[in-house]
Amino acid sequence: MHSPPDSAPQQPLFGRRLRALRTARGMSQAQLAGTEISTAYLSRLESGERPPTPRVLSYLCTRLEVAPSAFHGSSGSILTQTLATVVTLGESAENARLLEDALQQDDEGDAALRWQAHWLLARSYRARGESERELSTLQELTRLSDGVGVPDLQARSRVGLARRLRDSGELALAHVSATEALALAERHQLLTRDVVEALMTVISVEAESGRLHEARSRADRLVEALAADVPVQLQVEALWTAATVRVRQVDRTGAVSLLQRALYLLPSNEDPLLWMRLRLAATSLYLQMDPRDTAQARARLAEARVAAELVGMPLHRREVLFLQCQLAFHEGRYDEAREFSDQVGAGTKGMGLREQVRLDILRNQLAIIDGDRASAVVAMERIAKKAQESSNVELSAEVWRALAEALAVQGRTAPSG
C-alpha cells in the first residue's frame, strides 16, 4: 500500500477529489468501499463531513491506484484537477458532470482554466444534442475569452457560437459572431486553422441567408488558397463548404466536382468521424441538387450508416434516420418514409431548430400525399413565412420547393374522377 503523507488531506477538498477520482473510473461507492469500509462512511467522506484516517487514505489510494498527493491542495485547484482527469480519460456524460461541479465550486478561479472547461462542456453538449446548454455555454465561453484577451480563444469562441446560432436559425446574430471571428483571425495572423474555420462559418451563414454572391466569392477564394501544407481534414471541410454554396446556386457540375475531391481526399482510417460526417453532408447535398441524385445519395448514406454505428454520437445516428426518411420520400417509398419519420420524431429531445423544421416539412409532404392537403399546405406556408421573417432565405426556398413537389406527387397519385 501507499504510505500516507505526514498530514491528512483537508476537507472539503479531499471529498471533492475523492468523488472526482471515483466517478472518473466508473466506480460506484459500493465498489470503491469494498469490504474494508462502509458506503455510508464513504458518502460522508465525499460530502466533507468526515476527515479520512491514515488507514482509510492508504486503502483508498490502493483502490484508486493513485498517490496520496492526488488528494492534496498542492496538486492544484479542484478545477485544475478535474480538467486533468477529463482530458486524460476523455469526454463522457459523467465527465461533463464533473466539470459542471468543479466550475460551481471554483467559480472565481483562473479565467483561462474556466475557458478550457467551458470549451470541453460545449463539445460534450453538442455531441449529446443538448442545444440550449451548448448555446449558454458558448455565450459564457465568448465572455471569458474577452476577459482573458487572447485572440486565439476569442476567435474560436465566436466560431463555435456562430455555428450554434446558425443551427438555431439566428442567422443575423450568427453572422455578427462569425465575421468578428474572421476579423480577429486575420488581424492577429492566427493559425491557418483559425482563419479557415472562421471563413467557412461566415460562408455557411451567408449561404443560408441567401447572400449567395458573397458566399460564392469567399468560397472561391477559400478553395484557391488551399495548399499542400493545409491539413487534409481542413481541406476536406473547405471543399465541403464550397460545394454547399454551389448546390444552392444550382451549379451542379461545380458542386459534384468539389464533393468528389473531398470524398476521396480523406482515408477512412485517418479521421473516421470526419469521414462519416462528410458522407452525411454529401447525402444531404445530393438530395438538394436539381435534379436530385438519389443514386449517389443512397451510396454515400450506406457508407455513413455503417460508420455512424461504430463512431457516431446520438445526433449522427438521428441524422442518418432523417436522411433515410428524405431518401425514401424522394424515391417514392412513402410507407418507409413515414416509418423513418416516426423514428426521428421519437428522439426529438435536443434537436436543433433547423432539424425540427426540416422534419416538419417532410411530415407535411407526407400528409399532402395522404390526402390531408388543406391543413398541410397551410402549415408549410406558415413555415416558409417564418423562415423568411428570420432572414433564412435558403430554408424558405426549400419549403416552397418541397410544397410544390408534394402537390405534384399528390396530383399524380390522386384517384381520377
pLDDT in tens, 331-390: 999 999 999 999 987 766 656 677 788 889 999 999 999 999 999 999 999 999 988 888
Q: Report the first-to-last Cα separation within the chain, whole angstroms.
A: 89
From the number of C-beta atoms within 10 Å of its C-beta (0-12, 13-18, 19+), residue 219 rates as buried
Rounded Cα distance between 158 and 119, Å, is 12
User: pLDDT digit string (tens) for 71-120?
Assistant: 765 445 677 777 777 766 666 677 788 888 888 877 666 788 889 889 99
User: Distance between CA atoms of 412 and 107, rounded to whole angstroms?
Assistant: 63
Rounded distance, CA 172 to CA 209, Å? 8
Cβ atoms of 123 and 137 closer than 8 Å: no
Residues of the chain above pLDDT 90, percent: 50
- Answer for the pair 376, 367: CB distance below 8 angstroms, yes or no: yes
What single letter denotes the amino acid at residue 175? H
pTM score of the predicted model: 0.74
pLDDT digits (tens, 9 = 90+) for 189-232: 998 889 999 999 999 999 999 999 999 999 999 998 887 778 89
